[in-house]
Structure 1
Amino acid sequence: MKYIFILTIAVVVFTACKTGNGELQLTTSESILVDTIPGSCPYLTKDSKGNVLLSWVRSINDSSSIFCYAVSTDGKTFSAPVRIPTSTNIHPHAENLPKIIAKPSGELIALWGAANPNPKNKYSGLVFYSQSFDNGTTWSTAKQLTTDTASFDQRYYDVALLPDGEAGIIWLDNRKATTKEGSGLYFARTAGANGFQNEQRISQLCCQCCRTQLFIDTKGGIHAIYRGIINDSIRDMMHIVSTDNGKSFTEPIRISNDNWVLKGCPHTGPSMTENKTGLHFAWFTGAGKKGCYFTSSSNNGQSFAAADSVSSNGSHPQLTQLSNGTLLLVWDEAIQVNSKSYKRIAAQLRDEQGKNIGRTFLTADSTVASYPVLVALPSNKVLLAYTAKKAEKNYIRYTSIE
């Protein structure tokens, strides 16, 4: 196997102790550059064999990009980047994140957004996908997610493996059963090698420009979380679930009554995970004391614990469960150093019940690092990837957390 050029090597080690001010004691070294060519939009997932797939958008020049991914069999080193040749119409957007998913059948599906400006919405986009049935050697012609001509705006999607081994997808769509502001939330699933089929609207109204998450629990429940629009002006996080394999979904319930009144979109969506104590959520709000928050539900989303503040400066939170049930939460946050603006990646550990253990910062205060993503590995390890700026260009870096 060929390996990518590595500038520096990093290992981050968790310890169970924390200082008196709540800071975790972590040992951190330099991070790893996944590609020497500028890029953005990192995403992490695993295949059915437990291999890690790290995908990103590589910048060809100032006006064109292509979707790439690399594979790790050990959680430490990655293969040479694989280009997805059908993705040349990709429009990089860290919130409308390009993604790749590996089905147990061996099929790979790459998904990305493309611009589709029109008189109704100059920011509209379309979702395209391409399939590979030979481990990424060749890729099918790119297909549009939906062929319904009434749909001119499909964005902010998420994908997950369903209990039957097919891939599920949710996305925000202009099609809705009302003239009120907002998007509809749609769900579809793959049908073998035939791609995504049988789309259905499962909720509305949704904030038009925040990422969504599709999550499958250990009992096969299909969860969707998104930023909703309530009473035409409140933009809070909503949760719905299907317990009948996607045939029907519950009515939306707010994970927290933040009551954020906003005539716009913050471009920061929610995240969720599960352990034996229940469901756990992280999100950003600008209401009241703005910032990132955390909550849990022990009854499958029927009710939620009071919101617990994570960071008043944080945004773009991502949450995962370690193999021992502990929760790891990461986010990016703005910081001022000598009157200059930077961004850093922060991390917080929470116990199985969601109680805060402590936090630390994974990148230096004098860097610009943003949009962290996570994937859990065996033995309480986690792989973290993020976008880092150097000389006014973005690059993808990753590090392991033990």
Structure 2
Amino acid sequence: MLRTGLLGIAALALLQGPALGQMHGQHTSEAACEEPTLRCATKVTPAFGPDGRLWLAWMAGGQVWVASSQDAGRSFSTPTQATTKRLNLDWGPDARPKIAIDRNGGIALAFSIFRDEAFNGQVLYTRSSDGGKSFAELKPITANNESQRFEALALDQDGTIFAAWLDKRNRVPAKEAGRKYDGAGLFFASSRDGSMTYTEASLAHDNTCECCRLGLTFAAPGRPVVIFRNIFEGGVRDHAVMTFADLSTPGEVHRVSNDDWQINACPHHGPSLTVAPNGTYHVAWYTNGKVRKGLFYAHSRDEGRTFSAPMALGRPDRNPTRPFVLAGPVGTAMVWKEFDGEKTSVQMTMSRDDGETWSPPKTISSTTDTSDHPLLVSNGRQIYLSWMTKADGYRLAAIEEQP
């Protein structure tokens, strides 16, 4: 079922151990590890280039590093430093560097830093035009001085990069006007020059949950779609999707599920979204609502206007967390973590009928220590599990899709 490459042994505990809760009290700072090597990584994000090369972006020693592999993760190039000095990188459970490789091999990179002890952030971006040998000077994705975090990047077919993030610039005007302001705004911008410059930031939707990762992809050429934890009436923090009419025109907000999670706090547990070649939206998320608790999956065949009944994922007695879903050439894969009291395992299920039915969950990897979130990545032919663990280092495992 799997081909696995292991690289070294991680030198520090990654954020959020398997048995930790989902709530906002679980902040920890980045552990001290000065080496640029992958074994010092706190968060590892994969992306395949057009030539089939695997690229990784990771955080280590307060800086962001990039390296590539031409042998399915068994060995990597000498890491390139994308930053010029040590930064207070966003170490929240849902934060990680974002990387996208365009059709010409250009590398777009974005990540967040903390600017103060109140967790006000700033999204920075850069680009490499020489195959990852060097990176341009870091720039803020917006000139606004309020907090920006939880950036997401998506690459369109024509090479356009679309960026979305959570932004608190509207809280000050609201306070000055005597209005209550909850959460943050969902903002966006795009780049047609490979992440050298971005358009001016625009608001897509206000009063979203301010502390969960976004799911972002393209529903069709020129039409980004984003899934986010919204703040609905009564302080309910359930998930929603928005499909853009074009790169500059946000669409309507559609609710994914009525979980009725009423909470005035930060779940730090964002959703996952993928759009199949036929246009089906597949989503996975965590909730602790009154209606349902745990991990769930649903799909939409009408561009997110309506969704199927939520399907529960994982064993409730094993604390299922961090779901990720990805549509591949011949099927849709979904993974998440579980903890049985001794080890953390990555569970996987596959659907070959566009989300109507799913295979029984199967353990495809495990570790006895802490680990990063399990991610899925595709080179257009094969889906891979990408997983960083403290005990065993980085793992890239190909998920065989043949029936």
* TM-score, length of structure 1 as denominator length: 0.82
> Aligned pair count?
357
The one-letter amino acid paired with 1:195 is T
**Which runs of 5 or more structure 2 residues have no equivalent in the other structure?**
10-36, 175-179
Deviation at 1:72, TM superposition (A): 2.7
Per-residue displacement from partner, 1:121-141 (whole Å, max 9, x unpaired)?
x01111111222222222221
* 1:114 has 2:110 as partner: no
Contact 1:268-1:316 within 8 A present in 2 as well: yes
| Pairing partner for 1:75 from 56, 72, 75 | 72
Q: Greater share of strand residues, 1 or 2?
A: 1
| Pairing partner for 1:172 from 133, 145, 166 | 166
Q: 2:265: which partner in 1?
A: 264
Cα distance change of structure 1 residues 369 and 37 upon mapping to structure 2, 3 Å threshold: closer
- Following TM superposition, where does structure 1 have runs of at least 4 consecutive aligned residues deviating by more than 6 angstroms? none
Q: Distance in 2 between matches of 1:84 and 1:231?
A: 42
Tell me the C-alpha RMSD between the 2 structures: 2.3
Q: 1:333: which partner in 2?
A: 338
Q: Distance in 2 between matches of 1:105 and 1:163?
A: 12
The one-letter amino acid paired with 1:336 is G
Q: Distance in 2 between matches of 1:30 and 1:50?
A: 16
Q: Distance in 2 between matches of 1:335 and 1:265?
A: 25
Q: Distance in 2 between matches of 1:86 and 1:30?
A: 30
* TM-score, length of structure 2 as denominator length: 0.82
Calculate percent identity across the aligned residue pairs.
23
Deviation at 1:163, TM superposition (A): 4.0
Equivalent position SS for 2:341: strand
Which protein has greater RCO, CA pairs closer than 8 Å, 6+ apart?
Answer: 2
Q: 2:15: which partner in 1?
A: none
Cα distance change of structure 1 residues 277 and 157 upon mapping to structure 2, 3 Å threshold: closer
The one-letter amino acid paired with 1:330 is V
Cα distance change of structure 1 residues 291 and 235 upon mapping to structure 2, 3 Å threshold: same
**Which runs of 5 or more structure 1 residues have no equivalent in the other structure?**
1-11, 14-27
Q: 1:161: which partner in 2?
A: 155
Deviation at 1:92, TM superposition (A): 3.6
Contact 2:110-2:151 within 8 A present in 1 as well: no
* 1:345 has 2:346 as partner: yes
Deviation at 1:241, TM superposition (A): 0.5
Per-residue displacement from partner, 1:87-132 (whole Å, max 9, x unpaired)?
63133444122112223344322211111126xxx01111111222
Cα distance change of structure 1 residues 384 and 87 upon mapping to structure 2, 3 Å threshold: farther
Q: Distance in 2 between matches of 1:365 and 1:96?
A: 22
Contact 2:122-2:149 within 8 A present in 1 as well: yes
Equivalent position SS for 1:369: coil
Q: 1:297: which partner in 2?
A: 300
Cα distance change of structure 1 residues 251 and 218 upon mapping to structure 2, 3 Å threshold: closer
Contact 1:110-1:130 within 8 A present in 2 as well: yes
Q: 2:325: which partner in 1?
A: 319
| Pairing partner for 1:66 from 56, 63, 66 | 63
The one-letter amino acid paired with 2:206 is Q
Per-residue displacement from partner, 1:230-263 (whole Å, max 9, x unpaired)?
12421111100012x2221222111111111112
Q: Distance in 1 between matches of 2:260 and 2:242?
A: 19
Q: 1:134: which partner in 2?
A: 130
Deviation at 1:378, TM superposition (A): 4.4
* 1:310 has 2:310 as partner: no
Contact 1:221-1:242 within 8 A present in 2 as well: yes
Per-residue displacement from partner, 1:308-349 (whole Å, max 9, x unpaired)?
10123222111111211x111111223313xxxx43222111
Cα distance change of structure 1 residues 367 and 145 upon mapping to structure 2, 3 Å threshold: same
* 1:374 has 2:376 as partner: yes
Q: 2:361: which partner in 1?
A: 359
